[in-house]
Amino acid sequence: MIIFVGYATVEGQTRKIAEAVATAVEAQGHRALLFDITLGGEYAVSHPQAAILCAPVHAARYPSAFASFVRQEASWLSSVPSAFVSVSLLIRSEFEEEQEEAMHFPDALVSDSGWRPTMMHHSAGALRYTEYDFFKRWIIRRMAEVENAPTDVSRDHEFTDWKALSGFVGEFLDKAKG
Ligand SMILES: Cc1cc2nc3c(=O)[nH]c(=O)nc-3n(C[C@H](O)[C@H](O)[C@H](O)COP(=O)(O)O)c2cc1C
C-alpha cells in the first residue's frame, strides 16, 4: 500500500514522530509518502490507499495550516482508512483530568472539518528549551512547573513513547489491509 504520512510541526518533534511513522510503515513493506503540510505544495501521488496525519498541540490547538489542510482534504481523507496522531504534553500528565483534556484536543478539528479518522493515537511530545526564545522558555517553564514536568532549561526533554507509536502504526496497517 501507499500510505500518505502528513504532518505539521512548530519545533520539530512532530517531524521526528512522522519520520518514525514512515519508518514503521516501510518496515512493514509498504511505501510511505512523507509530506510536510506546513510547507504546502503538491503531493505527487494521486491515490494513497491510507493516510496517517500527525500534528502538535500549541496553546490548545493544532497549527492553522494543518487545520486548513484537513478541512480541504476531508473528503478523500474520509474515503480511505486514516489515522490521527495528536502530539501534546498534557497527555503525559500525572492528573487524569488533564490526560482527559488532551484526549479531547482533536474534537474541534474533527467537528470543524468533517474528517473522521478511523484510528487515533495520543503521543507525548518534547520540551525543547534550548530552541525556545527567552519569552517562550519562560512561559513553558512556568507551565512545566504546574505540570510537574522537567524544568531544567539547560537541555531538551523528550517524552515520546516510540514503541507505543510503532505498535499503533502496526495495528493501523493491519486494519487498513482489511
Ligand atoms: C508555545 C507552546 C505551547 C504549547 N501548548 C500546549 C498545550 O496547550 N497543551 C499541550 O498539551 N501541550 C502544549 N505544548 C507542548 C507541545 O505540544 C509539545 O512541545 C510538542 O512536542 C510540540 O511539537 P512540535 O515540536 O512538533 O511543534 C506547547 C508547547 C509550546 C512550545
pLDDT at position 25: 98
The tally of domains found in the chain comes to 2
Q: Is-contact 8 66, C-beta < 8 A?
A: yes
The bridge status of strand 82-88 relative to strand 50-56 is: parallel
d(CA 71, CA 69): 5
Q: Do 86 and 141 sit in the same domain of this protein?
A: no
**CA triple 109-57-176, angle to 5 deg:** 60
Strand-pair partners of 77: none
| CB of 119 sitting under 6 A from ligand 1 | no
- Tens of pLDDT along 31-86? 999 999 988 777 655 678 999 999 999 999 999 999 999 999 999 999 999 999 99
Atom of ligand 1 nearest to the CA of 55: 26
- Tens of pLDDT along 112-138? 999 999 999 999 999 999 999 999 999
Atom of ligand 1 nearest to the CA of 87: 17
Q: Is-contact 51 77, C-beta < 8 A?
A: yes
How confident is residue 94, by pLDDT bands cut at 50, 70 and 90? Answer: confident
- Tens of pLDDT along 139-168? 999 999 988 899 999 999 999 999 999 999
pLDDT at position 178: 78
- The full 3-state SS of 75-126, as one line of letters, equals HHHHHCCEEEEEEECHHHCCCHHHHHHHHCCHHHHHHHHCCCCCEEEEEECE
pLDDT at position 40: 77
Q: Do 138 and 73 sit in the same domain of this protein?
A: no
Atom of ligand 1 nearest to the CA of 63: 27
Q: Which residue's alpha carbon is at the smallest distance from atom 16 of ligand 1?
A: 88
Q: Is-contact 115 82, C-beta < 8 A?
A: yes
Q: Do 169 and 143 sit in the same domain of this protein?
A: no
Q: Do 89 and 170 sit in the same domain of this protein?
A: yes
Q: Which residue's alpha carbon is at the smallest distance from atom 14 of ligand 1?
A: 58
Q: Do 47 and 94 sit in the same domain of this protein?
A: yes
pLDDT at position 174: 96
Could you please report the per-residue DSSP string of 2-37? EEEEEE--SSSHHHHHHHHHHHHHHHTT-EEEEEEG
Q: Is 91 exposed, middle or buried (0-12, 13-18, 19+ CB in 10 A)?
A: buried
**Domain extent at residue 104:** 2-125+160-177
Q: How many angstroms separate the alpha carbon of residue 46 from the centre of ligand 1?
A: 32
pLDDT at position 44: 59
The bridge status of strand 126-127 relative to strand 157-158 is: antiparallel
